Each structure stands twice: as C-alpha cells, then as structure tokens.
Amino acid sequence: MPKISAKETSDKNLEICMIAPVIPVLIINEIDNVRSLGEALVAGGLPVLEVTLRTPYALEAIAEMAKIKGGIVGAGTLITPNDVVNAVNAGATFGVSPGATDQLIDACQDAGLPLLAGSSSASEAMRLLEKGYTVQKFFPAEAAGGATFLKSLSSPLPQITFCPTGGVSLLNAKDYLACSNVKCVGGSWVAPNEAILKKDWDLIEQLASESVKVLS
C-alpha cells in the first residue's frame, strides 16, 4: 500500500467510525469458526471488526475475516512496527493501538495503514493533534475518566473525534455516544466468549442487531 498521511488517516478513520455505532473488539482464542463469528457480526449490522493481536490466532483470524463480504477488518493492539507489517500482510485495512509512539505512527504511515491511535489524557490527545491526527481512540475509557472526561475535552479540543474503548458496555455506550466528540465506541459485549465457545452465532448476531438498534 502507498504511504498515508495523518490527514488521510484521520479522514479514513472518521469514515470507519461513522459506519456503525459499535466496533466489536475481538480476542480470538481459537481459529475454528472465526469466519462464522465475523459473518454473524456483519449480519447483525456491525461490519467493522477489530481483531486484537493478543493471541497466536489473531493474524490468521484477520486473514479469514478479510474474506467476509461486507466486512472491514482491522488489527488491534498494534505495539511495534513488526505488528504493523504482520497486520498488513494478513489483510488488515486499519490499525488500532492502545497508545501512540513516533515509531508506531511512522510504521503505519510507511505501510499505508490508517492508525486509530490511542490517547488517555489531554496532553496525549494534543500531541496526536499536533501530528495531524484528529480521530483518536480513547483508552482505557472507563478507567481514564469515562464519558464525563470526554465531554470535558469537547470544549477545549473540539477538533478531535474519539472512539472510546475499554470498559464500554451496552449500559454506558449511550453516555459516550451522547458526547459531541464521539462517533462510535469499541466493545467486546457483542461477542461474549461464552457464546463463541458455544458457537451460538444466532445470539451474537442478535446482540449486534440489538446494539445497532439501541445505539443508532
């Protein structure tokens, strides 16, 4: 992929964040039926999927989910430049990181991978803004101050849009989405591990559909 600028990254991330109110955050513990998991979420109205690089199955899962019609698959928990290379090779079309380092940002720009970089304070958000990143992940959302904190940032930093992740659930997602500087949230409640183990794809599709209905 050609190199990508901070502005192009921000434009792409805003486009992704506007697709659905929730980006499922997925920790894949086995590769079997991973396509079925992704297809259930897409069928339920959540086509943007974040597969976190926290297990040995993550890259294979990204490659499988990248084949799903209508799916948009990204790699989460990007930490190193090597993670970026592996994610792109697996078929990820965007990346997500818990924080941001110059090395990681440069690697994503060089690889042409739009990075939803994480911030958890006004200073971190301003540093990313200084580099041209106007769309950011807010992580860990609940532990870092929640919707109240994000709302307080909207006045001094109105040019930044956030996707809060970390402790977000169907119970508090509405509070985040009510903030003027939030377009979507990231959460794992739409794909509970128990349902994945039971291969209950109907339940996962239902949870996705209900989330879209309640939060749109």
CATH number at residue 17: 3.20.20.70
User: Is residue 166 one of the residues assigned to a domain?
Assistant: no
User: Is residue 135 one of the residues assigned to a domain?
Assistant: no
- The model's confidence at residue 40, banded by pLDDT at 50, 70 and 90, is very high
- What residues does 136 pair with on adjacent strands? 162
- What average pLDDT does this structure show over 111-136? 98
User: Is residue 22 one of the residues assigned to a domain?
Assistant: yes
Is pTM, for the whole model, over 0.75?
A: yes
- What average pLDDT does this structure show over 104-117? 98
- What average pLDDT does this structure show over 138-155? 98
Q: What does the alpha-carbon distance between residue 37 and residue 68 come to, in Å, rounded to a whole number?
A: 10
The one catalytic residue in 39, 137, 183, 205 is 137
Q: What is the pLDDT of residue 52?
A: 98
pLDDT averaged over the chain?
A: 98
For the question of residue 60 being annotated catalytic, the response is: no
Q: What does the alpha-carbon distance between residue 52 and residue 36 come to, in Å, rounded to a whole number?
A: 17
Asked if the model's pLDDT at residue 26 lies above 90, the reply is: yes
- What average pLDDT does this structure show over 119-126? 98
Q: How many domains would you assign to the chain? A: 1
Helix (H) or strand (E) holding 43: helix 34-43
Sign of CA dihedral 30, 93, 131, 111: positive
For the question of residue 194 being annotated catalytic, the response is: no
User: Is residue 172 one of the residues assigned to a domain?
Assistant: no
Q: Which tokens belong to 78?
A: 């990007």
User: Is residue 177 one of the residues assigned to a domain?
Assistant: no
Asked if the model's pLDDT at residue 15 lies above 90, the reply is: yes
Asked if the model's pLDDT at residue 1 lies above 90, the reply is: no
Asked if the model's pLDDT at residue 151 lies above 90, the reply is: yes
User: Is residue 76 one of the residues assigned to a domain?
Assistant: yes
- The model's confidence at residue 35, banded by pLDDT at 50, 70 and 90, is very high
Q: What does the alpha-carbon distance between residue 138 and residue 97 come to, in Å, rounded to a whole number?
A: 10
| 3-class secondary structure, 114 | coil
The one catalytic residue in 50, 64, 183, 205 is 50
- What average pLDDT does this structure show over 24-31? 96
Q: What does the alpha-carbon distance between residue 56 and residue 109 come to, in Å, rounded to a whole number?
A: 25
User: Is residue 105 one of the residues assigned to a domain?
Assistant: yes
Tell me which residue range forms the domain holding 32.
Answer: 6-121+184-209
Q: What is the pLDDT of residue 153?
A: 98
Taking CA atoms, 100 is separated from 77, 83, 160, 193, 200, in Å, by 11, 13, 15, 28, 36
- The model's confidence at residue 88, banded by pLDDT at 50, 70 and 90, is very high
Q: What is the pLDDT of residue 20?
A: 98
User: Is residue 41 one of the residues assigned to a domain?
Assistant: yes
Supply the DSSP symbol for 77. Answer: -
